[in-house]
């Protein structure tokens, strides 16, 4: 197995600016074994796309790094929490993946997403009005609350519970970062089970008094036809809540930061709202909110010249694939008018992001209003990136309107 210790896959360097490291890997060792991650890291657009589309690269065994810790956690705390497995469509292979995904895909059709648009517009406008002040943080005031309101509405979560989710949701995603140690993984497992407890109570309430929401529809499916177990229902609710939060926050935050640093690009979008759809694809490409995802080889297989043994973990670096010059010309420049944008920010294949249409719609509404309300916004303080090499987003983005 070729060892690529010469590539420093150093978490703090990756957090600040991952792109020079990605470029070095892409050019010198596009399928590299990184010992500290116990994984192969794949950096070119074409290789990543092939792997993500190939069902021989599955999700089996990937969660093993948290498996033992979860057992330890449950040995001590098991009686406090509902029984569930940390397995959702995101971590399952067919046929379970196919069965479960088909149960929720109806909630993300273009018609459903379009019907949510007026709600997104109303809450975004009222949040923006509340922030008509001298200086404020775009992340905590707009980029975080808008997706949280939307997913809470879809899931039928009462407004009063919304803020509790932020911390739990932030902690759950720590386990998506392969460089995190035991302490963070334990935090993630605990937050996962706390969310499971919360949803267990919500499901009990909604089973008695169903609402017009996704949780109530899924309870109905659990209770008729045997297609969904209670534990699968819990995992699904947690996945939707977590997946709908931080990712979209990061799209809005990273996108606005890119615009503020490239004024001429901001001017293009300010002067022509029909350019926004393409601009959002460029924001997704340029600073992918999710930088990587994993698969494992179900057979011994070659990727390029490198043979990967059955069961080995493979990390596809989406953020690197998006900056591969073989996919996009001049990939390190931010160009909202870029033609034929190629990006893997929503992944590819059977796990392609279910919430992509929702995230795109939310971003369109938010940027439309942000650019109208703050056409001359300026960065007031140099922002810091969050300490997570998988979820790329800013801790805060303070602007002067
Ligand atoms: C900009 C925002 C978003 C980004 C960048 C994003 C990114 C991703 C990525 C990369 C995956 C696939 C991971 C893999 O292949 O292993 C994924 C899956 C998923 N996303 Fe998103 N996501 C976003 C927003 C959302 C929203 C708003 C929701 C819904 C509430 C959502 C729900 C899901 C679900 C349910 C899956 C699992 C699909 C499956 O495994 O079949 N996402 N997302």
Assigned architecture for domain 11-400: Orthogonal Bundle (1.10)
Using the mean position of ligand 1's atoms as its centre, give its distance from the Cα of residue 140 in Å: 21
Rounded to whole angstroms, how far apart are CA atoms 34 and 228? Answer: 38
Beta bridge mates, 137? 398
Rounded to whole angstroms, how far apart are CA atoms 236 and 228? Answer: 10
Looking up tokens 């407004």 gives: 159
Beta bridge mates, 40? 33, 314
Residue 82 burial class via C-beta count within 10 angstroms: exposed 0-12, middle 13-18, buried 19 and up: middle
CA 247 vs CA 252, 345, 346, 391: distances in Å: 9, 10, 10, 7
Q: Nearest to residue 123, comparing CAs of 148, 155, 160?
A: 148
For a mutational test of ligand 1's pocket, the pick from 243, 254, 285, 392, i.e. the residue with the most ligand atoms closer than 8 A to its C-beta, is 243
Determine the Cα angle at 277 with ends 157 and 269, to 5°.
110
Which residue's CA is the nearest one to ligand 1's atom 39? 351
Rounded to whole angstroms, how far apart are CA atoms 309 and 240? Answer: 33
Instruction: Decide: 314 in ligand 1 pocket, CB within 6 A.
Output: no
**CA 281 to centroid of chain Cα atoms:** 15
Which residue's CA is the nearest one to ligand 1's atom 37? 90
Instruction: Decide: 249 in ligand 1 pocket, CB within 6 A.
Output: no
Rounded to whole angstroms, how far apart are CA atoms 334 and 345? Answer: 15
Using the mean position of ligand 1's atoms as its centre, give its distance from the Cα of residue 318 in Å: 13
Give the model confidence (pLDDT) of 58-98 as tens digits.
987 555 567 777 788 777 887 777 777 657 899 899 999 99
pLDDT, residue 8, reads 67
Full-model pTM:
0.94
Instruction: Decide: 390 in ligand 1 pocket, CB within 6 A.
Output: no
Give the model confidence (pLDDT) of 193-239 as tens digits.
888 999 999 999 999 999 999 999 999 999 997 789 999 999 999 99
Give the model confidence (pLDDT) of 120-165 as tens digits.
999 999 998 887 677 899 999 999 999 999 999 999 998 888 777 7
Which residue's CA is the nearest one to ligand 1's atom 17? 353
Rounded to whole angstroms, how far apart are CA atoms 126 and 242? Answer: 24
Question: Residue 2: pLDDT above 50?
Answer: no
Output the CA torsion 218→346→170→386 (10° steps): -170
Rounded to whole angstroms, how far apart are CA atoms 264 and 400? Answer: 18
Residue 60: count of CB within 10 angstroms of its CB: 15
Instruction: Decide: 239 in ligand 1 pocket, CB within 6 A.
Output: yes
For a mutational test of ligand 1's pocket, the pick from 61, 247, 251, i.e. the residue with the most ligand atoms closer than 8 A to its C-beta, is 247
Using the mean position of ligand 1's atoms as its centre, give its distance from the Cα of residue 347 in Å: 8
Using the mean position of ligand 1's atoms as its centre, give its distance from the Cα of residue 236 in Å: 12
Rounded to whole angstroms, how far apart are CA atoms 185 and 191? Answer: 10
Helix (H/G/I), strand (E/B), else coil: 218? helix
Give the model confidence (pLDDT) of 34-45 as tens digits.
988 889 999 999
Give the model confidence (pLDDT) of 230-257 as tens digits.
999 999 999 999 898 899 999 999 999 9
């Amino acid at each position: 197995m070729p060892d690529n210790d010469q590539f420093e896959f150093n978490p703090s360097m990756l957090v600040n600016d991952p792109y020079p490291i990605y470029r070095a890997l892409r050019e010198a060792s596009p399928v590299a074994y990184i010992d500290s991650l116990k994984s192969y890291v794949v950096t070119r657009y074409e290789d990543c796309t092939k792997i993500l589309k190939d069902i021989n690269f599955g999700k089996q065994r990937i969660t093993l790094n948290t498996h033992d810790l979860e057992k330890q956690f449950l040995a001590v705390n098991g009686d406090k929490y509902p029984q569930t497995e940390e397995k959702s469509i995101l971590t399952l292979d067919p046929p379970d993946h196919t069965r479960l995904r088909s149960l929720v895909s109806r909630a993300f059709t273009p018609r459903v997403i379009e019907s949510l648009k007026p709600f997104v517009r109303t809450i975004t406008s009222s949040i923006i009005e509340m922030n008509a002040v001298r200086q404020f943080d775009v992340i905590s005031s707009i980029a975080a609350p808008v997706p949280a309101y939307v997913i809470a509405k879809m899931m039928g979560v009462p407004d009063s519970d919304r803020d509790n989710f932020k911390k739990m949701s932030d902690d759950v995603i720590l386990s998506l970062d392969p460089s995190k140690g035991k302490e963070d993984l334990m935090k993630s497992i605990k937050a996962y089970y706390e969310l499971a407890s919360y949803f267990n109570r919500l499901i009990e309430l909604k089973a008695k008094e169903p609402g017009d929401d996704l949780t109530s529809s899924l309870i109905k499916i659990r209770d008729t036809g045997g297609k969904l177990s209670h534990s699968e229902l819990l995992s699904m609710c947690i996945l939707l809540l977590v997946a709908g939060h931080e990712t979209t926050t990061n799209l809005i935050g990273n996108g606005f930061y890119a615009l503020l640093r490239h004024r001429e690009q901001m001017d293009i979008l300010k002067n022509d709202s029909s350019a926004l759809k393409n601009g959002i694809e460029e924001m997704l490409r340029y600073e992918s909110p999710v930088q990587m995802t994993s698969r494992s080889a179900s057979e011994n297989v070659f990727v390029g010249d490198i043979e990967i043994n059955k069961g080995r973990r493979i990390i596809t670096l989406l953020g690197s694939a998006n900056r591969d010059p073989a996919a996009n010309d001049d990939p390190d420049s931010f160009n909202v008018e870029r033609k034929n944008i190629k990006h893997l920010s929503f992944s590819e294949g059977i796990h392609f992001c279910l919430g992509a249409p929702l995230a795109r719609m939310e971003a369109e509404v938010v940027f439309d209003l942000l650019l109208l309300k703050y056409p001359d916004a300026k960065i007031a303080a140099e922002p810091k990136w969050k300490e997570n090499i998988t979820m790329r987003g800013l801790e805060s983005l303070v602007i002067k309107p």
